[in-house]
Chains A and B, each alone.
Chain A
Amino acid sequence: MKKWLMMLVAMVLGLSCRAGSVSYTNSIAFTTTDWTNSVALAQFNPDLGYLVSVQVAVKSDLSTVLTVQNNSISPSSGTAITQLKQYLLTGSFALFGSSPVLDYAGPDFDYGLDGNDVIASGQLTASASATGNLVTDYATLAGFTGTGYVDLTAYTYTRTFISNAGGNTAATQSTTADFTAVVTYDYSATPVPEPSVVALCGLGMAGLMLRRRGRTSHGNVSRSAG
């Protein structure tokens, strides 16, 4: 009977092993492009449990001013945009499927210029985000487990595009961009029994003990062995 009860308790406790998730964010503030910067991703603390997977999400915002100059004597009209490519060098960790991790354009700047004229846009903004691969390979999990940081290198590449009719135009941009990386760890926590299970087991134990004490005091012993 006792052995049987122990088995039951062990079975119930075994079911309560839980999955958890923890995220850490690292941001680079708005900086004039093109910049190169270090991105420090906090490692997964092994005290929490066993790491199951790593996934990184990235986000970038740009703020750009476009200047378009018409170098010919005939009028020119068209649209200019700023393109920003965001690279994140992840070394042997296959965190993203492609490089750059983000490749996006600012909003349109529509212009109409006389011959030999120049015009500047106001501040134009855009943003982009992407979620990387769900990485589960052992080397990456080991690389991201610890109490320090994984240092990656991020950099930007910016340029202008124009779509134009007439004239002979050239465009330049002045751009600032920020960058945010969020690393999410899914892990299997060190088993902690659920309170309700503990309470149920406790109640059961208490009941058994009460029963046993009641029996013994009456001298009516008829215990089953084992």
Chain B
Amino acid sequence: MFGLAAQADFISYTNIYSPAQTDWTNTVSLHRFSPALGTLDSIQVTVESGMTTVLSVTNFGNSASDGTAITQLKVYLPSGTYNLFSGSPVLNYISQDFNYSLSAGGGVISSPIAGYASTTGNLITDPTTLSAFTGGGSVQLTGSTATRTFLSNSGGNTASSQVTTANIGTIITYQYTAFPPTPVPEPGTIALVGVGLAGLGWRRRIVGK
């Protein structure tokens, strides 16, 4: 009953960076796994990004123009031989729609529009990567963004531009086997045994009288 205590545990570290105007390049730190906790079995990283974008659309044509503009944001987080993610960019997402209707020669600026995306990377178990992520401090990667606008349009001759801020967040999850803990009996079991002993003692006292 006391031998079942060895089991897999998880520990996660989250790092959210403040939004900055795109296109930016920045250091992304991933907290290492402390070997004091046990033996590391696997690593998995989730990356998320949110954007706020303002779109401007100008119609250079002589006819009216209707359409929709969006901002596309690509987030790159190369991890080299660690192979934390299969694809590059790790995120490729678009903002919500900005619908416009412009007369000839007209222009319009949107209010701030949001977008969000997240993805979970590979489950890494190769020993080289596990050892690189074990220790103190953090593993430093370089994150970057690339932003542009897309138009879907009828009539006119339109061009669009965007001003965008975006952030990046990472959650690194370590699965590990904890060092064998000191066996601690379950409370329920202790209570049962205690009650049994008390009962026996009580009975003995009565029988003894």
Contact = CB atoms under 8 A, between A and B. Distances in A.
A104 B93 contact: yes
Interface stretch (A35-43, A53-61, A140-148, A154-162): A154-162
Nearest to A200: B192
B92 A163 contact: no
Interface string B1-34: 1000000000000000000000000000000000
B196 interface: yes
Contact of A224 (B1, B96, B206): B206
Contacts of A163: 72, 148-151
A168 interface: yes
Interface string A125-169: 000000000000000000000000000000000011111100010
A105 B72 contact: yes
A168 B203 CA distance: 98
Interface in A1-57: 1, 4, 8, 12, 15
A83 B192 contact: no
Contact of B70 (A83, A107, A196): A83
Given A83-B94, A105-B92, A224-B206, A160 B152 contact: yes
Q: Could you say which interface size class chain B belongs to? A: 20 to 34
Nearest to B95: A103
Given A105-B72, A159-B152, A12 B188 contact: yes
A50 to B, nearest CB: 24
A222 interface: yes
A161 B192 contact: no
A104 B94 contact: yes
B96 A103 contact: yes
A222 B196 CA distance: 20
Contacts of A12: 188, 192
Nearest to A222: B207
Interface in B80-105: 92-94, 96
Interface string A73-116: 00000010101000000000000000000011101000000000
A204 B196 contact: yes
Contacts of A204: 196
A168 B206 CA distance: 103
Interface residues of A, number: 24
Interface in B167-209: 188, 192, 195-196, 199, 203, 206-207
Contacts of B195: 8
B134 interface: no
Contact of A161 (B151, B157, B199, B207): B151
A15 B206 CA distance: 31
A107 B92 contact: yes
A12 B150 CA distance: 64
Contacts of A164: 151
B137 to A, nearest CB: 34
Contacts of B72: 81, 105, 163
A163 B148 CA distance: 8
A200 to B, nearest CB: 7
Nearest to A105: B94
A79 B1 CA distance: 64
A162 B96 contact: no
A222 B152 contact: no
A70 to B, nearest CB: 14
Given A105-B92, A168-B157, A222-B206, 15 more contacts: A1-B199, A1-B203, A4-B199, A12-B188, A79-B148, A81-B150, A103-B96, A104-B94, A105-B93, A161-B68, A161-B150, A163-B148, A163-B150, A204-B196, A222-B207
Interface of A: 1, 4, 8, 12, 15, 79, 81, 83, 103-105, 107, 159-164, 168, 196, 200, 204, 222, 224
Interface of B: 1, 68, 70, 72, 92-94, 96, 148-152, 157, 188, 192, 195-196, 199, 203, 206-207
Complex A-B, nearest 6 residue pairs according to Cβ-Cβ distance, in ascending order: A161-B150, A163-B150, A161-B152, A105-B94, A224-B206, A159-B152
